[in-house]
Amino acid sequence: MPSSPFTPPAVRTIGLMRPMAWLALAWRDMARAGWSSFAHGIALAVLGAAIVAMAHHRFWLLAGALSGFLVVAPVLATSLYALSRALERKETADWSVVFKTWLNWQNSHFNKWGNDYWCMVQFGALLALAATGWVLTSAALITLLAPVPINTPLEFVHHVVLAPNSWLFELWLALGGVLAAPLFASSVVSMPLLLDRRISLWQAVLTSWRTVLANPVPMAFWAALIMIFTLLGLGSLLLGLIPVIPMLGHASWHAYRDLVDASALPAREAYSEPYQPRDKH
């Protein structure tokens, strides 16, 4: 028997202010999950601090590295989605959920690039590649076009952000936006969907784009909120990332649940045996 054709999940439309409800639900999840949630923010703040330490006197690299680090945040937040899913199912949301989310694939996935579970890591690899490309592009742009060598944050502000008769900062932001917009559209619901349902990588990305196209204004508002909270986290000597990262991760799960009706797709049970596709003959 041939396998049934893929039916795309339904995409819902939402009101402009609905992202605020996702943030409120995220705080509830953070309070219920406790340290297993906040530890994600601590880990990423430490990672950000390591990036700052390594590139402290090379701000031309630091600017791209920190923004590139945020590109892969949807993948790093995978276990936050799993915690919110466990809470939604009235299951225990603790460290066991975090560890099993990251380590379960090692149990019996031999063909790593062929198995459907590995598509989440494939997506992470693509985001990491995009982040690396942005780091190199950002570094090359600032190094080649800045009037003087840029080694510190103050030099970046003085010679790039506030430089008179220069469009370097605007060009840098524009290039960042060109990268960020399609990445946001590709990832806004992809990772929660891949975690929750048995769906291919490209089907998940297509669903994410359909979600953005169906809700352009609310999704632009959601993207602005993500940017604002992220900048607040970075601007507070990275300490603000401790609550911001889990908040945005849990909120992204609720965004997925509001925007996509994936009930017709087979569930990807949290810690089940590997999925065996049906015989096509």
pLDDT tens digits in sequence order for the chain, 281 residues long: 445 566 789 999 999 999 999 999 999 999 999 999 999 999 989 988 887 777 666 666 666 666 666 667 777 889 999 999 999 999 999 999 998 888 765 554 445 545 555 676 778 778 777 877 877 788 788 888 888 887 777 777 787 878 888 888 888 888 888 888 898 999 999 999 998 998 888 999 999 999 999 999 999 999 999 989 988 988 888 899 999 999 999 999 999 999 999 999 988 765 444 444 444 44
Contact present, 134 and 68 (Cβ < 8 Å): yes
Contact present, 255 and 247 (Cβ < 8 Å): no
Of 47, 110, 55, give the one whose Cα is nearest residue 73: 47
CB neighbours (10 Å) of residue 203?
Answer: 19
pLDDT of 276: 43
At a CB cut-off of 8 Å and minimum separation 6, what does 225 contact? 19, 23
Three-state SS for 11? strand
